[in-house]
Amino acid sequence: MFFLILSGQIVAIIIFTLGLETLLPWNFFITSSQYFNMQLNESVSSNGTSGPVQRKYNYDSWMVLLSQLPLLLFTLLNSLLYQWVKERLRVAFSLVVIFLLFALTAALVQVDMQPDNFFSVTMATIWFFNVFSAVLQGSLFGMVGLFPPRYSTVFMSGQGLAGIFAGVAMLCSIMSKSDPKSAALGYFVTPCLVTLGALLCYLLLPHLVS
């Protein structure tokens, strides 16, 4: 009996972690918008007369478009994928890709790039992140629906904590007066660690509920 109760609590912790994973990476990504706008703040000399002019990339507008569009398309596509691709493969592969995208984004903090190249890489990262995030969320919601109702509450509680976690991290960054690059590095490394933890939790879950 004790082991059944303990197993149930571990399952709840795992589902909470998976709920946290579905929203925490993106919350950290949008929290670091100051860093992205700083990187895209390109100065171009204008004929040597009127001083530098700033090139406008409209990062925030493009970020919203290239995040919501794949979320919509691939959330719908996920309803077809479940018939052809096993849930275990969909979830594990999505977590691996999300980890690699954030590892790449973290590595680029230390790399000097031309604003045009940086903008292209960032937009591609946003697109592919939300593609796999849509597949991940749809798959996990389907999985959690197979558990007793209380686990759905635990899953959504993890999602709620994701926004609070990102907000607290931003406040800590502001209070510590860290520069945008150092703050961004922390914003990107943290989701990498959480994603790895979520992947391990997901792989452990079948052994607890079997």
Is the pLDDT at 54 greater than 80, yes or no? no
Which residues on neighbouring strands pair with residue 45, listed in sequence order? Answer: 52
| pLDDT tier at 5, thresholds 50, 70, 90 | low
Is the pLDDT at 80 greater than 50, yes or no? yes
Q: Where are the alpha helices (DSSP H) in the chain?
A: 2-31, 33-39, 59-84, 87-108, 115-144, 149-176, 180-209
Is the pLDDT at 52 greater than 60, yes or no? no
pLDDT tens-digit readout, 150-189? 999 999 999 989 888 888 888 887 787 778 788 888 889 9
Is the pLDDT at 86 greater than 60, yes or no? yes
Under 8 Å between Cβ of 109 and 185 = yes
Kindly report the pTM of this predicted structure.
Answer: 0.87
Q: Quote the pLDDT of residue 95.
A: 96
Higher pLDDT, 11 or 174: 11
> CB count, 10 Å around CB of 186?
16
- Count of all residues that appear for the chain in the document: 210
The mean-pLDDT minimum among 7-11, 85-89, 152-156 falls in 7-11
Q: Quote the pLDDT of residue 209.
A: 63
The mean-pLDDT minimum among 69-78, 150-159, 194-203 falls in 69-78
Question: Residue for token digits 């909470």?
Answer: 16
Q: Quote the pLDDT of residue 44.
A: 45
Could you please state the CATH topology (level 3) that the domain comprising 2-42+56-209 is classified under: Growth Hormone; Chain: A; (1.20.1250)
| pLDDT tier at 123, thresholds 50, 70, 90 | very high
Domains of the chain, residue spans: 2-42+56-209
Under 8 Å between Cβ of 109 and 184 = yes
Nearest to 9 by CA among 162, 154, 144, 202: 154
First and final C-alpha spacing in the chain: 16
Determine the Cα–Cα distance for residues 198 and 137; give it in Å rounded to an integer.
13
**Radius of gyration over every alpha carbon of the chain, rounded to an integer in angstroms:** 20
